Amino acid sequence: MLLSPGWHTLSMSFETVSEEVIRQERARAREIRQSAWWRNQIGKGQCYYCHERVHPNDLTMDHKTPIARGGRSTRHNIVPCCKVCNTDKKYLTLSEWIAQREDEGRSLACAAHLLN
């Protein structure tokens, strides 16, 4: 697949997050996955990003700002996400991904209300 021209610049910030922080935040994400709050999130049956109706079993947990990019496992940063969006977003932050999708003419449903 083609990477956006900004990819090399983006990848440099991968170095700034230590292995230990990544381990810690992944452990916290696992705890959140067991919580009533998370069950409630996926129970809504909708992808946060594209707004598609998705069966709760097919919703994955996504960090709006990935852990590897300095994001934390908090309720503000964690959203239910369909597999299509998860695969497409990869290690982009939400604002980078929105910008990339706008460039490609594939606007995200969530962009409209996030940018307002």
User: Which of 52, 56, 113 lies closest to 84 in space, CA to CA?
Assistant: 52
Nearer to Zn ion, 82 or 98 (CB): 82
- Does the footprint of Zn ion cover residue 47 (CB under 5 A)? yes
Q: Does residue number 85 form part of the binding site for Zn ion (CB under 5 A)?
A: yes
- Helices (H) and strands (E) counted in the chain, each on its own, are 6, 2
Does 38 help bind Zn ion (rule: CB under 5 A)?
A: no
64 secondary structure, DSSP code:
S
Asked if 113 contacts 51 with a C-beta cutoff of 8 angstroms, the reply is no
Q: Kindly tell me which residue out of 29, 42, 50, 98 binds Zn ion, with binding defined by CB under 5 A.
A: 50
49 binding Zn ion? (CB under 5 A): yes
User: Which residues form the interface with Zn ion (CB under 5 A)?
Assistant: 47, 49-50, 82, 85
